[in-house]
Amino acid sequence: DLATALNDRGQIKYFRVEFAAAVEDYTAAIECQPDFEVPYYNRGLVLYRLGCFDEAMKDFRKVLELNPQFEDAALSLKQAILDKEEKQKRGY
């Protein structure tokens, strides 16, 4: 389906380190199928790597709302929270 195709295309762009383009594809997949948790997770990973912790945490929380058993999202959320706190402690 279209949402899966957009998510998969986003993955290819992610592996090519084309983060902005990957986020666009993940967002398009979410708009196409809002209850599909995988593109939220993938977008969260990109946002996390870019240091956008609040946005990443929002995506990881949405994944867990849609699928509470998504363990990687729970781990990623915990890590994003820790990294945000560390960043704040260091003052940047």
**Which domains does the chain show, CATH number per domain?**
1-88 (1.25.40.10)
Q: What is the pLDDT of residue 26?
A: 98
Determine the Cα–Cα distance for residues 36 and 60; give it in Å rounded to an integer. 13
Question: CA torsion, points 51, 54, 58, 61, in degrees to nearest 10?
Answer: 90
Residue whose entry in the numeric block shows the structure tokens 């986020």:
23
**With pLDDT > 70 as the criterion, what percentage of the chain qualifies?**
99
Characterise 17 by phi-psi region: left (phi > 0), alpha (psi -120 to 50), beta (else).
left
Q: What is the pLDDT of residue 48?
A: 97
pLDDT tens digits, one per residue of 37-78: 999 999 999 999 999 999 999 999 999 999 999 999 999 999
Q: What is the pLDDT of residue 91?
A: 80
pTM score: 0.94
Using the predicted structure, report yes or no on whether residue 90 has a pLDDT greater than 80: yes
